[in-house]
Amino acid sequence: MENFLETTLIFPLEELWRTALDFLPLVGSAVLIIGMGWLLALILRRLSTLLLHLLGLDLLVEKIGLRRVLEGGGITRQTSALAGDGIYWLTLLIIVQHGVTRLGFFTAAEYLNEVLFFILRLILATVLLTFGLAIGRFLEKVVRTSMQLVNPSLAVPAGKVAFVGVLFLAAMMALAEIGIPVDVLWQSLMVLMVTIPVAGIVVLGFASRQTLEGLIAGRLLRRHLRTGQEIEVDGFKGKVVAFHWTVLEVDLGGRTGFFPYAHLMGRSIFTKDREG
């Protein structure tokens, strides 16, 4: 009877006690790691929020139009604060993963590790998309300004094409980063990369001819017109303000008119010298 009790009750309890004694230090160290990590995450959230705000992240997000998108989704907090929260939870997840590993729960630690790497890839994809928006907006303004001098009617469409092209490329890079297949999208991009240059060559050829005509006409008009001179053309009366690359700027009495030089060459222009 005594041997039976020792075998079935006492020995298992002793083994359980020894296991608990061996496990308690691990629990204590895991709790200590998670507690210190939580404090570190709080500090990093505050510092990163302040630093990103000082670096102009909120201003950048507003300029590229991402602020309106976030507000449309019901997110009203500053982007720097959102980034700080992301850093807080990312740091906390890393600490918890280390704590679980410390306890010997290796399977759970592996799952947490996979989640952690996915979040990191998601953050990188978000950064790529944000930079794509910023570069796309910048390139849109450059193309629009350049085309305004060449052919104003094509300025807005050309700028939009440049923006969409950059954003499309950034979106595919972001999708590839988080593991989403983009083979079909890459094929579409290749088609665009072939189509857009061909269309660009046609547009530039037309624009170059228009620009050359405008430059020649502008040289001729400068011989007969001067800044401040009153003119009348096509029923519009105004005062010459400035000679631009391919257009003449005219003050129409509170409004500003831009007349392409090539258009003016085929019109009758009535002039009047300034009095005084």
Residues 60 and 135 in one domain: no
CB 115 within 8 A of CB 93: yes
Domain co-membership, 17 together with 67: yes
- Does residue 2 register a pLDDT over 60? no
Q: What is the pLDDT averaged over residues 235-256?
A: 82
End residue of a domain, out of 50, 70, 104: 104
Domain count across the chain: 3
Q: What confidence category does residue 46 fall into, taking pLDDT thresholds of 50, 70 and 90? A: very high
Do 191 and 273 belong together in one domain? yes
170 shares its domain with 222: no
Domain stop point among 71, 104, 137: 104
Q: Which residues of 157-192 are buried (b: 16+ CB within 10 A; e: fewer)?
A: ebbebbbebbbbbbbbbbbbbeeeebeebeeeeeee
Instruction: Write the CB contacts of 189 (distance below 8 Å, at least 6 apart in sequence).
Output: 168, 169, 172
Indicate if the pLDDT at residue 78 is higher than 70.
yes
- Domain identity same for 193 and 176: no
List pLDDT tens digits, range 148-199: 766 677 778 888 888 887 888 888 888 877 777 666 666 666 556 555 555 5
226 falls in which pLDDT band (50, 70, 90)? confident
Q: Is residue 114 part of a domain?
A: no
Q: What pLDDT does residue 274 have?
A: 46
Pair 162, 92 in one domain: no
| N residues, the chain | 276
Distances (CA, A) of 99 to 43, 112, 113, 251: 19, 11, 12, 73
Q: What is the pLDDT of residue 10?
A: 58
pLDDT of residue 276: 33
pLDDT at 275 over 50: no
> Residue 233's domain spans which residues?
181-276
Q: Are residues 175 and 197 in the same domain?
A: no
| Same domain, residue pair 13 and 72 | yes
Q: State the chain's mean pLDDT as an integer.
A: 75
CATH number of the domain within which 204 lies? 2.30.30.60
Are 63 and 79 in the same domain?
A: yes
Is 269 a domain residue? yes
Q: Does residue 113 lie within any of the structural domains?
A: no
Residue 23 has pLDDT above 70, yes or no: no
pLDDT tier at 43 (50, 70, 90 boundaries)?
very high
Residue ending a domain, among 180, 213, 228, is 180
Put simply, whether the predicted model's pTM sits higher than 0.75 gets the answer: no
Q: Does residue 58 belong to any structural domain of this protein? A: yes
